[in-house]
Amino acid sequence: MQIEFGQSVIPYTLQRSNKRQTLSIQVSAQGVEVIAPIDATIQDIESKLLKKATWILQKQADFDEMIEYNTPRQFRSGEKLPYLGRQYRLKVITEPNIENASFSYKQGKFIATVSEDITPEQYRNLLYPLYKQWIMERG
């Protein structure tokens, strides 16, 4: 089932319970679950969901942010890295004949320079220690 709130669509699952006397709305990373009394009408349920729609959308955004934040970073160009409470893009530059990779921050983005011999799959192992060291020195 779903309701529309402005331009947003909020999908939800509905369970009915003999034990419930009031409506229960639970928002998790898996979605929105509504537990309603047996005698509650769909109109009553949707009316209450619409009243709580702003709260539901905010909780869903919070879960999306947590998932993004907890996703392991690959340290590839375009990826966002946290610094002082904000997210900044990473640009990885490959150049020939570089012995040591470098990591810096310029004009609102992180810049990493690596050898052409390094594959994108190896970026994390090479750049994470440099990023961590950079944060420890400046952050």
- Cα–Cα distance for residue pair 116/5, rounded to 1 Å: 49
Residue type for position 58: Q
pLDDT tens for 67-112 read 766 678 899 999 999 888 888 999 999 999 888 999 999 999 999 9
Sign of the Cα torsion 31, 35, 39, 45 reads negative
Determine contact, residues 34/23, Cβ cutoff 8 Å: yes
> In a 3-state reduction of DSSP, which class is residue 33?
strand
pLDDT of residue 139: 66
Q: Which pLDDT belongs to residue 27?
A: 95
Burial (CB count within 10 angstroms: exposed 0-12, middle 13-18, buried 19+), residue 126: middle
Provide the token pair at 44.
């009553």
**Do 21 and 38 meet the contact criterion of CB atoms below 8 Å apart?**
no
Q: What is the CA radius of gyration of the chain?
A: 23
Tokens 């750049």 belong to 127
Question: Residue 10: phi, psi to the nearest 5?
Answer: -115, 105
At which residue do the structure tokens 């997210």 appear? 87
Half-sphere exposure at residue 17, Cβ-oriented, CA atoms within 13 angstroms? 12
How far apart are alpha carbons 15 and 4 in whole angstroms? Answer: 19
The pLDDT value recorded for residue 24 is: 97
Q: What is the mean pLDDT of the chain?
A: 92
